[in-house]
């Protein structure tokens, strides 16, 4: 253990410091005065001042100060206040100006009629700004253009404006985020790739390693503040996630006092109840919360037709299924933070998540040879997918001065997963003849230690370096049991049983450098090294030959702003390690005609990503277009083959056989029609080629390939009216998806919602409806090879309506916000199916008053 911890590598990282400035309603980076990227005409005048909270009379550190030319209205310079609230604008030419001061949680303040003479030093003295307590739920940016924000390395979706998602979960939010697609099962893709990492408040969770779709169901939609889509992560972030990183930021505040929020909702397919409270007094703060959601009336119907060929004999399977599912999802958390000193803080927290999903399915299967039926059977299956997750963290942050800080972060995470099924086999008289049971219990446990340091060099650079260690252990016990109709269960020796133990330890270090030139070119390059130590074994077969491996992960990003148009160019290399569902060797035959089994010998896949982005504000319209390319080697691909022992069955497993290419474009436009109404459109299209090989009949090598175009897109609109009324609508369509051995059918999704606020915005009532124009939706999938073909139609009954209620209790006062300790963010394992979210210096810009 000691040897491993000492293997952490510490290297260096450089990055420019810049503030955010408002341009046409969307934040754009601007160099700080005096940096190489500052193009402001140089003069000899100077402005100084100090920002102070008007109520608490305390300095406001890191407040944003923007200097505007009064004649043109353009922002020409800017800075941020230091830890004492002091700021200075230097080398200003003579002229007439105004200053806009802004910071999160405070009302914007404009200082007008400033006239500077050559060489004059103007001291504005103490500037008092007021807290924005009465307007915490309002957005004052003109045209609501901040619904979507584009930053240097990410796209930010401000989910707190979404009124139709009340009573839903994170899946409902992510469906509306540009660049992302979410299928009907909740699986998330970024530019067509499901190889992504999902962080929650910059932190990982072991449940995400098991299933992203399941993790999202545990996060209430109305607790999400923003969703950050990081398409080109720098070397600071874990190398995992070939498609990119999704960071979900939940709502937080630095209010003083006691508060309690109550959220409830009821619908025809689900209900929820959420209680979240907080207490803060002086230097200490506590938070406690709980969320529970029940799902019911979830009906599915299926039609399966497939033909498999074994030893030259073709067996045709025709199967129909009727099923339903219900589930309980919950998340409960307790948090604590304390300011050890003015520039030091510590945070700690524990979170427990629960997911209990129970499904029932009745299957009728007919087997035919040469067109004649040879066998008919019935099968009633009860499946249990149960999960309990614990995350506990302690984090420390020491801030020396703006942009100079050191942090230590720790995280312990454990996920206990049960995935069992019981099946009754029926004869022609619908009587039980045999019972089957598959038991599979898994544990994913990990501990992470991370440290980071950053410090500015001059005024246009930032040095940053750090190291990280992850100790991870995965175990899976599985067995297959069988019994007569009235007998006891005994072990079925014809089916695999056993135990997998999988140790995966990672040591990592990173370095990067960013530089901004005088002509406002920004270059950011870096490298990260990760070494993975693998020790895997099964109880029956002993050690598994998966060796240790190291990977060097470079990243390069460049940007340039020309007359309101921002160009971005990025390259990075990413690694994708296999996840628990892909490693687990359990033989899951809940549906014996479609069997899945993991592969513990999988190795990671490597991906090279390229992207070129263009964004521009055209009056009230924000437009973004990104061209991207992705090349993946050693790709982890699903491979399907006929079963040698079960007639007509198809077995799905995972292999490192693939090579994938994807080239495409993402388009997005947001239009602020008025200050109260905005709408947008987005479209994603890419061409993909997939190649690989597998063993066919008689162990002959079968080459596989497929290619095609994947298209998706959607529209959204929202409006705010008088007297607390609001409305929102959203629609999305996903086209056919290309897979290595066929195609998966597309689907559509739409929702509308209205909300009415009351009691001085302390409470609200909302009504939302989804997919209400159709009874069901069909997903058509076709798979094929030389040995089989399969056509599968799934029918989803997802018409829904829900009524929601929210009320806030408690009286709060605003305290000057402090930067809290950073936290661990493990984004390094692949799920079936710069993270951190740190914003660049300064608060989001707003239009001058």
Helix (H/G/I), strand (E/B), else coil: 222: helix
What CA–CA distance (Å, rounded) separates 402 from 343? 10
Residue 827 CB partners (closer than 8 Å, separation 6+): 197, 198, 199, 204, 237, 238, 240, 241, 245, 835
Is 126 a residue whose pLDDT tops 80?
yes
What pLDDT score does 17 carry? 30
* pLDDT, tens digit, 9 for 90 and up, residues 208-220: 655 677 667 767 7
Q: What is the DSSP letter of 2?
A: H
* pLDDT, tens digit, 9 for 90 and up, residues 661-716: 999 998 988 887 877 787 888 899 999 999 887 766 666 777 888 999 999 998 88
How is residue 313 written in tokens? Answer: 């004999």
- In three-state form (DSSP H/G/I as H, E/B as E, the rest C), the secondary structure along 150-219 is ECCCEEEECHHHCCCCCCCEHHHHHCCCCCEEECCCCCEEECCECCEEEEECCECCHHHHHCHHHHHCCC
pTM: 0.70
Report the first-to-last Cα separation within the chain, whole angstroms: 58
What CA–CA distance (Å, rounded) separates 826 from 577? 12
Is 596 a residue whose pLDDT tops 70?
yes
What pLDDT score does 445 carry? 94
* pLDDT, tens digit, 9 for 90 and up, residues 318-350: 999 999 999 998 989 898 888 888 788 898 999
**Residue range 105-117: average pLDDT?**
84
* pLDDT, tens digit, 9 for 90 and up, residues 741-790: 899 999 888 989 898 988 877 888 999 898 988 888 888 999 888 888 99
**Residue range 51-76: average pLDDT?**
80
Give long-range contacts, CB 8 A cutoff, 24+ apart: 769-777.
Answer: 769/800, 769/801, 769/802, 770/798, 770/799, 770/800, 770/801, 771/798, 771/799, 771/800, 772/799, 772/800, 772/801, 774/799, 775/799, 776/301, 777/184, 777/747, 777/748
Closest CA to 200 of 182, 185, 218, 179: 218
Neighbours of 700 (CB within 10 A): 8
Distances 628 to 179, 228, 625, 685 between C-alpha atoms, Å = 11, 18, 10, 10
Alpha helix segments (H runs only) across 590-746 = none
Q: Are strands 498-516 and 605-618 parallel, antiparallel or unpaired?
A: unpaired
DSSP 771-803: STT-S-EEEEEEEE-SSEEEEEEEEEE--EEEE
How is residue 127 written in tokens? Answer: 């500037």
What pLDDT score does 359 carry? 94
Host H or E run for residue 583: helix 580-583
Sign of the dihedral defined by the CA atoms of residues 430, 432, 438, 439, in that order: positive
Residue 5 CB partners (closer than 8 Å, separation 6+): 449, 469
704: left (phi over 0), alpha (psi -120 to 50) or beta: beta
Average pLDDT, the chain: 80
How is residue 574 written in tokens? Answer: 């990413």
What pLDDT score does 105 carry? 65
Closest CA to 4 of 574, 448, 452, 392: 448
DSSP 241-264: -SSEEEEEEEP---EEEEEEEEEE
* pLDDT, tens digit, 9 for 90 and up, residues 170-210: 777 887 777 777 766 667 877 767 777 788 777 666 556 55
* pLDDT, tens digit, 9 for 90 and up, residues 605-618: 899 999 998 988 78
What pLDDT score does 68 carry? 87
What pLDDT score does 84 carry? 79
Q: Which residue bears the tokens 């200097």?
A: 67
Helix (H/G/I), strand (E/B), else coil: 698: helix
Is 19 a residue whose pLDDT tops 50?
no
What pLDDT score does 441 carry? 94
Among 214-218, 407-411, 782-786, 812-816, the minimum mean pLDDT is found in: 812-816
Q: Which residue bears the tokens 């058509």?
A: 780
Distances 241 to 188, 494, 564, 571 between C-alpha atoms, Å = 13, 38, 32, 14
Backbone angles phi, psi at 73, to 5 degrees: 75, 10
- Stated length of the chain: 849
Q: How confident is the model at residue 437 (pLDDT cuts 50, 70, 90)?
A: very high
- Dihedral, 572, 575, 580, 585 alpha carbons, nearest 10: 140
Q: Which of the two residues, 349 and 140, has the higher pLDDT score?
A: 349
Residue 486 CB partners (closer than 8 Å, separation 6+): none
Query: Exposed e or buried b for every residue in 732-758, given b needs 16+ CB within 10 A?
Result: bbbbbbbbbbbbbbbbebbbbbbbebe
Q: How confident is the model at residue 493 (pLDDT cuts 50, 70, 90)?
A: confident
* pLDDT, tens digit, 9 for 90 and up, residues 388-400: 999 999 999 998 8
How is residue 174 written in tokens? Answer: 């992510």
Helix (H/G/I), strand (E/B), else coil: 582: helix
CA angle 431, 436, 440 (to 5 degrees): 150
DSSP 301-315: EEEEEEEEEETTEEE
What pLDDT score does 394 carry? 94
**Residue range 470-486: average pLDDT?**
91
Is 381 a residue whose pLDDT tops 90?
yes
What pLDDT score does 648 carry? 83
**Residue range 73-77: average pLDDT?**
79
Sign of the dihedral defined by the CA atoms of residues 166, 167, 170, 176, in that order: negative
Host H or E run for residue 74: none
What pLDDT score does 192 carry? 66
Helix (H/G/I), strand (E/B), else coil: 221: helix
**Residue range 126-146: average pLDDT?**
51
Is 308 a residue whose pLDDT tops 50?
yes
What CA–CA distance (Å, rounded) separates 116 from 97? 8
Judged on CB neighbours under 10 Å (0-12, 13-18, 19+), 17 is buried
Asked whether the beta carbons of 767 and 754 are under 8 A apart, the reply is yes
Is 841 a residue whose pLDDT tops 50?
no
What pLDDT score does 35 carry? 33
What pLDDT score does 811 carry? 56
* pLDDT, tens digit, 9 for 90 and up, residues 560-581: 878 778 888 999 898 888 887 8
What CA–CA distance (Å, rounded) separates 271 from 751? 17
Q: How confident is the model at residue 151 (pLDDT cuts 50, 70, 90)?
A: low
How is residue 523 written in tokens? Answer: 């270059």
* pLDDT, tens digit, 9 for 90 and up, residues 20-46: 323 333 333 333 333 333 444 468 889
């Amino acid at each position: 253990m000691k040897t491993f911890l000492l293997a952490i590598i510490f290297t260096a990282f450089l990055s420019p410091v810049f503030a955010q400035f408002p341009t046409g309603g969307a934040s754009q980076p601007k160099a700080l005065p005096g940096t190489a990227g500052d193009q402001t005409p140089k003069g000899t005048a100077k402005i100084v001042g100090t920002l102070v909270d008007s109520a608490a009379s305390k300095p406001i550190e890191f407040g944003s100060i923007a200097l505007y030319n009064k004649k043109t209205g353009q922002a020409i310079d800017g800075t941020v206040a230091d830890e004492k609230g002091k700021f200075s604008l230097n080398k200003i030419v003579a002229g007439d100006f105004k200053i806009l001061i802004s910071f999160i949680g405070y009302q914007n303040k404009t200082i007008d009629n400033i006239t500077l003479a050559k060489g004059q030093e103007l001291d504005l003295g103490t500037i008092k700004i007021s807290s924005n307590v009465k307007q915490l739920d309002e957005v004052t940016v003109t045209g609501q253009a901040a619904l979507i924000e584009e930053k240097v390395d990410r796209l930010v979706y401000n989910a707190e404006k979404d009124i139709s998602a009340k009573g839903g979960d994170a899946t409902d939010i992510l469906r509306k985020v540009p660049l992302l697609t979410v299928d009907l099962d909740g699986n998330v893709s970024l530019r067509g790739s499901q190889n992504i990492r999902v962080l929650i408040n910059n932190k990982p969770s072991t449940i995400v390693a098991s299933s992203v779709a399941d993790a999202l169901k545990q996060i209430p939609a109305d607790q999400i503040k923003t969703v950050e889509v990081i398409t080109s992560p720098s070397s600071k972030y874990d190398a995992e996630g070939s498609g990119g990183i999704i960071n979900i930021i939940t709502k937080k505040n630095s209010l003083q006092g006691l508060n309690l929020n109550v959220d409830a909702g009821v619908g025809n397919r689900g209900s929820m109840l959420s209680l979240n409270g907080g207490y803060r007094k002086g230097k200490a703060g506590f938070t406690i919360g709980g969320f529970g959601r029940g799902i019911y009336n979830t009906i599915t119907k299926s039609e399966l037709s497939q033909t498999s060929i074994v030893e030259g004999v073709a067996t045709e399977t025709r199967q129909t299924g009727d099923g339903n599912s219900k589930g309980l999802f919950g998340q409960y958390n307790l948090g604590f933070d304390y300011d050890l000193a003015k520039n030091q803080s510590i945070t700690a927290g524990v979170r427990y998540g629960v997911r209990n999903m129970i499904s029932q399915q009745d299957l009728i299967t007919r087997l035919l040879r040469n067109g004649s039926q040879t066998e008919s059977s019935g099968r009633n299956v009860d499946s249990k997918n149960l999960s309990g997750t614990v995350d506990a963290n302690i984090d420390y942050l020491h801030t020396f001065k703006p942009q100079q800080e050191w942090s230590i972060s720790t995280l312990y995470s454990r996920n206990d997963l049960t995935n069992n099924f019981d099946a009754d086999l029926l004869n022609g008289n619908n009587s039980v003849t045999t019972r089957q049971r598959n038991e599979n219990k898994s544990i994913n446990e990990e501990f992470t230690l991370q440290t980071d340091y950053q410090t500015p060099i001059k005024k246009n650079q930032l040095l940053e370096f750090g190291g990280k260690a992850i100790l991870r252990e995965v175990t899976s016990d599985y067995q297959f049991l069988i019994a007569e109709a009235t007998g006891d269960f005994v072990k079925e020796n014809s089916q695999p049983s056993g135990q997998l133990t999988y140790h995966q330890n990672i040591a990592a270090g990173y370095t990067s450098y960013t530089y901004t030139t005088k002509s406002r070119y920004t270059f950011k390059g870096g490298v990260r090294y990760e070494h993975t130590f693998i020790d895997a074994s099964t109880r029956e077969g002993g050690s598994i030959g998966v060796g240790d491996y190291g990977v060097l992960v470079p990243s390069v990003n460049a940007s340039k702003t020309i007359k309101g148009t921002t160009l971005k160019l990025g390259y990075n290399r990413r690694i994708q390690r296999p996840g628990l569902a892909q490693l687990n060797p359990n033989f899951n035959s809940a549906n014996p005609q479609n069997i899945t089994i993991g592969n513990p010998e999988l190795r990671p896949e490597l991906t090279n990503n390229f992207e070129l982005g263009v964004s521009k504000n055209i009056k009230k319209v924000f437009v973004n277009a990104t061209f991207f390319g992705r090349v993946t080697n050693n790709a982890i691909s699903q491979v399907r083959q006929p079963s040698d022992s079960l007639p007509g069955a198809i077995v799905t497993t995972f292999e490192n056989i693939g090579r994938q290419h994807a080239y495409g474009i993402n388009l997005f436009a947001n239009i602020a029609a008025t200050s109260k109404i905005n709408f947008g459109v987005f479209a994603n299209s890419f061409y993909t080629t997939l190649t690989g090989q597998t063993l066919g009949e008689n162990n002959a090598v079968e080459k596989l390939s497929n290619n095609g175009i994947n298209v998706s897109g959607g529209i959204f609109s929202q409006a705010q009216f008088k007297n607390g009324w609001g409305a929102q609508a959203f629609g999305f369509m996903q086209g056919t998806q290309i897979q290595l051995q066929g195609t998966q059918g597309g689907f559509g999704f739409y929702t509308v919602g209205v909300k009415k606020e009351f009691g001085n915005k302390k409470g609200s009532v909302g009504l939302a409806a989804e997919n209400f124009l159709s009874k069901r939706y069909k997903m058509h999938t076709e798979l094929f090879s030389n040995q089989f073909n399969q056509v599968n139609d799934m029918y989803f009954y997802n018409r829904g309506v829900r009524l929601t209620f929210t009320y806030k209790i408690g009286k709060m006062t605003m305290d000057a916000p402090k930067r809290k300790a950073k936290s661990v963010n493990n984004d390094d394992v692949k799920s079936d199916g710069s993270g951190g979210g740190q914003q660049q210096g300064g608060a989001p810009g707003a239009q001058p008053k």
